[in-house]
């Protein structure tokens, strides 16, 4: 089945010069995604059944954050439709490429989507799609827990900006691995990538900036001259 246009995603608005930054969290109110069921959107209150939890636990359950999620078996359009109907904010990464003398927008990673919701909302969405929807989990914890990976708002803002830059030449390298964190960390000091940070890696004879979503994925930009880089102490 051909992919639907990525224009349906609810990406946060950003400055027109580069990209769109995440907007403020949506209203706690949500629409029914299908008859007889609802999705949690934003910081909805927990159900009466869970009202006995401590204030600290309750705050954790209602905290809205970005979750990277794998969507398998070609279900990405169904998941996006469910999120749209449930009024849940999400970002489906795309990039601008040149094809046949025109710039077009295509999925950057067809199976990766970022959903902005609460832990309760994430569980509801995951339950709806069972094995088709798999959050990334943090396996580095020493306490035995494996919570879902979350992405800070500032990092998502920069990533969304990067995806919307048609000059970025953004390339998906695969899942995040230690090899993408080798060497000095650098910051771009000039040009269209000014302010971005990452590591420099030689790819097909070009020195490219590697930008990672930690524990999730790695991406490479186009060539950046060494004169535009400074070491991050």
Q: What is the CATH number of the domain that holds 141?
A: 3.30.70
Does a structural domain hold residue 47? yes
Which of 153, 185, 206 is where one domain is finished?
153
Complete DSSP assignment for 88-153: -EEE--EEEEEETTEEEEEESSTTEEEEEE-HHHHHHHHHHHGGGEEE-B-TT-SSS--PBP-B-H
Query: How many angstroms separate the CA atoms of 52 and 133, rounded?
Result: 30
Does a structural domain hold residue 214? yes
Q: Is the pLDDT of residue 103 over 90?
A: no
- Residue 149 shares a structural domain with residue 184: no
- Residue 147 shares a structural domain with residue 53: yes
Q: How far is CA 21 from CA 64, 101, 156, 160, 200, in A?
A: 16, 28, 8, 7, 25
Closest CA to 122 of 74, 175, 61, 81: 61
- Residue 177 shares a structural domain with residue 140: no
- Residue 135 shares a structural domain with residue 201: no
Does a structural domain hold residue 223? yes
Model confidence at 69, pLDDT cuts 50, 70, 90, reads very high
Does a structural domain hold residue 1? no
Model confidence at 160, pLDDT cuts 50, 70, 90, reads very high
- Determine the distance from the C-alpha atom of residue 190 to the mean position of all C-alpha atoms in its chain, rounded to a whole number: 25
- Residue 195 shares a structural domain with residue 99: no
Does a structural domain hold residue 179? yes
Tell me what the mean pLDDT of segment 145-168 comes to: 92
Question: ∠112-118-122 over CA atoms, to 5°?
Answer: 45
Which of 125, 153, 181 is where one domain is finished?
153
- Residue 148 shares a structural domain with residue 173: no
Q: Is the pLDDT of residue 183 over 50?
A: yes
Model confidence at 39, pLDDT cuts 50, 70, 90, reads low
Query: How many angstroms separate the CA atoms of 204 and 26, rounded?
Result: 43
How confident is the model at residue 132, as a pLDDT?
A: 94
Which of 118, 153, 188 is where one domain is finished?
153
How confident is the model at residue 61, as a pLDDT?
A: 78
- Residues of the domain holding 185: 168-231
Tell me what the mean pLDDT of segment 28-35 comes to: 37
Strands (E), the chain: 32-34, 37-38, 65-71, 89-91, 94-99, 102-107, 112-117, 133-135, 171-174, 185-188, 197-203, 206-213, 217-223, 229-231
* Domains: count for the chain: 2
Query: How many angstroms separate the CA atoms of 146 and 68, rounded?
Result: 14
Model confidence at 141, pLDDT cuts 50, 70, 90, reads confident
């Amino acid at each position: 089945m051909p992919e639907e246009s990525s224009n349906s995603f609810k990406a946060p608005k950003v400055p027109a010069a580069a990209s769109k930054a995440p907007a403020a969290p949506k209203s706690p109110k949500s629409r029914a995604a299908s008859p007889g069921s609802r999705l949690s959107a934003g910081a909805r209150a927990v159900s009466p059944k869970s009202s006995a939890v401590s204030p600290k636990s309750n705050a954790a359950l209602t905290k809205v954050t970005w979750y990277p999620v794998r969507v398998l078996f070609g279900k990405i359009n169904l998941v996006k439709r469910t999120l749209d109907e449930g009024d849940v904010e999400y970002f489906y990464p795309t990039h601008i490429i040149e094809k046949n003398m025109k710039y077009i927008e295509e999925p950057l990673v067809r199976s990766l989507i970022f959903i902005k919701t609460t832990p309760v909302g994430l569980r509801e969405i995951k339950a709806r799609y069972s094995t088709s929807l798999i959050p990334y989990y943090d396996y580095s914890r020493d306490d035995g827990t494996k919570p879902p990976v979350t992405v800070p708002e500032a990092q998502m803002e920069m990533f969304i900006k990067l995806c919307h830059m048609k000059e970025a030449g953004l390339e998906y390298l695969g899942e995040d691995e230690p090899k993408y964190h080798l060497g000095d960390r650098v910051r771009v000091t000039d040009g269209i990538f000014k302010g971005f940070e990452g590591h420099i890696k030689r790819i097909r004879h070009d020195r490219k900036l590697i930008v990672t979503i930690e524990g999730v994925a790695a991406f490479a930009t186009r060539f950046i001259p060494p004169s535009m880089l400074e070491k991050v102490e």
